[in-house]
Every structure is written in structure tokens, then in C-alpha cells.
Amino acid sequence: AQTVTQSQPEMSVQEAETVTLSCTYDTSENNYYLFWYKQPPSRQMILVIRQEAYKQQNATENRFSVNFQKAAKSFSLKISDSQLGDTAMYFCAFRETSGSRLTFGEGTQLTVNP
Amino acid sequence: EAGVAQSPRYKIIEKRQSVAFWCNPISGHATLYWYQQILGQGPKLLIQFQNNGVVDDSQLPKDRFSAERLKGVDSTLKIQPAKLEDSAVYLCASSLEGTSGTEQFFGPGTRLTVL
């Protein structure tokens, strides 16, 4: 069974600075997808960024980028130029190519301070 | 484009009572998911529908939980009877199709408190 681990329950960063959230996962699959979701206090889960395991290039979406290390089974999220609106719970998630079930980590609560 | 709609937003019941949640997915989305998110944890998939058929219900406690998606559009999740440990946020999500790379769009969730 796949597992996703986020070892940082809480993180904080000053506005305009950069922060990195960690995620590791365990799988025997070779092809899969990895995701970072954001869940603000409104509870609505929003997709931040997606990475396909067979692509070596790290995904980027504006201020959000990932560091995908397949051999180490590591998938960290870097947020540059942090904004107050980035304050939320961030979940790392895994999905195998052959299936559609998302397996989520425990989440990291990020607080951006003014 | 309208998002995934869920109701009610909040529900408080006593243990052993019954409760039902409703979800209306994004128009045209064939796949619908129900997740349970216990406080302090990530969401856990309860059931996945492809149109009106069940694709995955391996983590659904079938002795008390049931779900249906009549006509392949709206869905209802029911708990009967509820237990204290069912207190959680129930999230509904939908996607255009059920393949692994497809983005899932989530609703605002229903927060259930069982007393």
C-alpha cells in the first residue's frame, strides 16, 4: 500500500520570503502522479501543482515549484515570494497510474506572517 | 463554471442517529468521489463512482455507510447509525474522468459532529 508522509505539522514564513514543505512517499510503482493541494480555512481543497513521475523536469506554477527526487521518493513544494493568502493547510498526495484513488499525507499548516 | 456543491455545510447529530449528505458535481464530470477527513488528518477516500457505477468502495464501512449516485449526476452519502468516530468533514470531489492524472475538483465539505 502507498503511504505519504509529511513530517512538518506546522511551518511559518515571513511575507515575501521563500518556504519549502517536505513530503516523502512509499510505493513499489514506477509510474504515478504526485500532487500538492492547498486547503484554506474555507475547507475547499485546491490543486496547487502536479508532477508526473516519468517526467524528470520539476513542475512549476508561477510562485510554486517542486523538487521531485524519484530515487529518494521525495516531493517537496517551494513557495517563493510568500503571500498572506498562502496561509493554509497543504497536503501532499499520491496517485498510481493504474488507479484513481488519491492517498493524502497528514498535512502541513503553513502560516504566512506580515 | 460552477464548482462542486455540497449540503448541508454543518450537521450536528447524536450517536445512533442517521444523517445524509448531498453532492452535486461539476456538470459533465463522470467521476465522483466521497472523502472523509478527520480533524488533523488528510482526506481518505470512501467511495468512487464512474457515472452511476461504483469503482472503488474498499474503504467504505459498509455496515453503516451507504452511497448512491442515481442517474450518474448527484450523489448522496448516508450514515446509519452514526458513531462518535464519524465526526469529520465529508468532502465530495468530481473529475472529468477517472484516470490518474485528471484533476479532482473538491466541494466545500460538510462538517459532521456526532455527540
| B56 at interface of A, judged by CB pairs closer than 8 A | yes
- Dist. CA B108–CA B3, nearest whole Å: 9
For residue A33, which residues of chain B lie inside 8 Å, CB to CB?
A: 100-101
Q: What is the pLDDT of residue B99?
A: 66
DSSP B56: E
Angle at B26 between CA A95 and CA B24, to 5 degrees: 105
A100 to B44: CB separation less than 8 angstroms, yes or no:
no
**Is residue A6 classed as helix, strand or coil in its secondary structure?**
coil
Work out the percent of chain B whose per-residue pLDDT is above 90: 81
Q: What is the pLDDT of residue B100?
A: 62
- Dist. CA B96–CA B25, nearest whole Å: 10
Instruction: Point out which residues pair with A61 in neighbouring strands.
Output: A64
Q: What is the pLDDT of residue A41?
A: 86
pLDDT digits (tens, 9 = 90+) for A16-25: 999 999 999 9
Q: What is the mean pLDDT of residues A32-45?
A: 91
Handedness of CA A26, A39, A48, B75 (dihedral sign): positive
> Among A14-18, B2-6, B25-29, which range has the highest average pLDDT?
A14-18
Find out whether B13 and B112 touch, Cβ atoms under 8 Å: yes
Burial class of residue B10, CB neighbours in 10 A (0-12, 13-18, 19+): exposed
Residue B103 has pLDDT above 70, yes or no: yes
End-to-end C-alpha distance for chain B, whole angstroms = 37
Q: What is the mean pLDDT of residues B94-110?
A: 84
Which residues have CB under 8 Å from B48's CB, separation 6+?
A: A100, A101, B31, B32, B33, B34, B54, B55, B56, B57, B98
Q: What is the pLDDT of residue B25?
A: 95
Residue B18 has pLDDT above 80, yes or no: yes
pLDDT averaged over chain A? 93
Selected residue with higher pLDDT from B22 and A30: B22
Q: What is the mean pLDDT of residues B26-34?
A: 93
Q: What is the pLDDT of residue B69?
A: 95
Q: What is the pLDDT of residue B72?
A: 83
Q: Can you read off the three cell numbers belonging to residue A35?
A: 500532487
**Partner residue facing B42 (CB), from A97, A98, A105:** A105
> Which chain A residue is nearest to residue B48, measuring alpha carbons?
A101
pLDDT digits (tens, 9 = 90+) for B69-83: 988 899 999 999 999
- Cβ-based contacts under 8 A for chains A and B: 61
For residue B101, which residues of chain A lie inside 8 Å, CB to CB?
A: 33, 50, 52, 95, 97
Contacts 24+ apart (CB under 8 A), B46-55: B46/B77, B47/B77, B48/A100, B48/A101, B48/B98, B49/B75, B50/B98, B55/A100, B55/B31, B55/B98
A106 to B42: CB separation less than 8 angstroms, yes or no:
yes
